[in-house]
Homo-oligomer: A and B are copies of this chain.
Amino acid sequence: MERSFGTSRRAVVGFGDDISAVRLANDQLAVLKTDMVVGSTDVPPGMTWRQAARKAVVANVSDLAAKGVKPYAGIVALGLPRTLTKKNVQGIASGLSEAAKEYGFPFVGGDTNESKDLVISIALFGLTEARKLMLRSGAKIGDIVAVTGEFGSASAGLRAVLDRTIRPDKLPRELSQAVYYPNAQLDVGLRLASTGAITASIDSSDGLAWSLHQLSEMSGVGIRVEKVPVSRAAREFASAFGYDASNLALYGGEEYNLIVTVKSALLRAAQIAARGRLKQIGFVTKKSEGVRLARPGGDVGIRMEGWEHFRR
């Protein structure tokens, strides 16, 4: 896809980052983001239409959060199967407007269509200054790698309901929340952007491992993870059902933390700005060292793998 469009001088940030940005005047950028939720591949068992619509917004907001950009307005194009009832459609509308309220922006327009698959296609618009924008590129050797939350709950919860290990309504609260009611870290992203401490940033929606590889590739650096930040709920699920907790956390997805690299001298400032939500997990190394995980017996490589979409 990307290559077909070439590059545009107007695009300050194009394909290949969480968002796109075009220059307006001087330092001001218009930031654009679109992300689509598809019924057959993005909506797990047990999720309501309202939750699916809310999550579609969260996924878009999370990408803006990772760039330090506040959403200013949103528009939405819906593809609705004939089988949906009026109540289903109202649920979708409620989910969209609930999430917009949570993240402080209005939906100002949209388009409704009939389609075979449920499609919720959201586009967000934001404004920022070029110098404040946190990109995937920019990590430097010696920077700290840090995250704004723990990992594994979403993939544990998804595995549980997809493999029918646990019924959706019986999921432990943390897993249920992670799957059906995730949150984008918008406030943390905006506060981190204002510190000037962040050299690169990405949201973790494609999984921790995958996102670390993106940072590595776009910044031309290696990353050494010293400790995989696994959530307690994922640990409990892993031990009860025979999964590897680290793998759940690394190779998951649909989880909306931010993964950032921080100038080491400014780590404390960034942690204060993030109000305790920023935890160091490793540091930036030479590119030739790749993306790897420290283990007692010696480092192991982190594979460039992520969560694969599921089908109903």
Spell out A's residues near B (CB within 8 Å).
1, 4-6, 8, 10-11, 13-15, 19-22, 24, 30, 32-36, 38-42, 72-73, 75-79, 89-90, 93-94, 96-97, 100, 105-117, 119, 121, 123, 125, 127, 309
Q: Are A115 and B119 in contact (CB under 8 A)?
A: yes
Q: Are A35 and B77 in contact (CB under 8 A)?
A: yes
How far in angstroms is the closest Cβ of chain B from A203? 13
With both beta carbons as reference points, the residue of chain B lying nearest to A7 in the complex is identified as: B106
A110 to B33, CA, bound (A): 8
Q: Are B127 and A125 in contact (CB under 8 A)?
A: no
A93 to B6, CA, bound (A): 11
Q: Are A106 and B34 in contact (CB under 8 A)?
A: no
How far in angstroms is the closest Cβ of chain B from A185? 20
Q: Are B76 and A110 in contact (CB under 8 A)?
A: no
* Interface CB pairs A-B, < 8 A, 11: A1-B110, A4-B97, A10-B106, A11-B108, A20-B108, A34-B76, A34-B111, A34-B121, A41-B113, A79-B79, A119-B119
Q: Are A73 and B41 in contact (CB under 8 A)?
A: no
Cβ–Cβ < 8 Å partners of A123 in chain B: 32, 34, 75, 77, 123
Q: Are B36 and A121 in contact (CB under 8 A)?
A: yes
In this complex, the member of A6, A40, A97 whose beta carbon has the largest number of chain B beta carbons within 10 angstroms is: A40
How far in angstroms is the closest Cβ of chain B from A214? 15
A130 to B39, CA, bound (A): 38
Q: Are A22 and B72 in contact (CB under 8 A)?
A: yes
Cβ–Cβ < 8 Å partners of A109 in chain B: 11, 13-15, 19-20, 32-34
Cβ–Cβ < 8 Å partners of A78 in chain B: 1, 36
Q: Are B30 and A125 in contact (CB under 8 A)?
A: yes
Beyond known contacts A5-B97, A20-B109, A34-B109: 5 more, CB 8 A cutoff: A8-B106, A19-B109, A22-B108, A34-B76, A38-B119
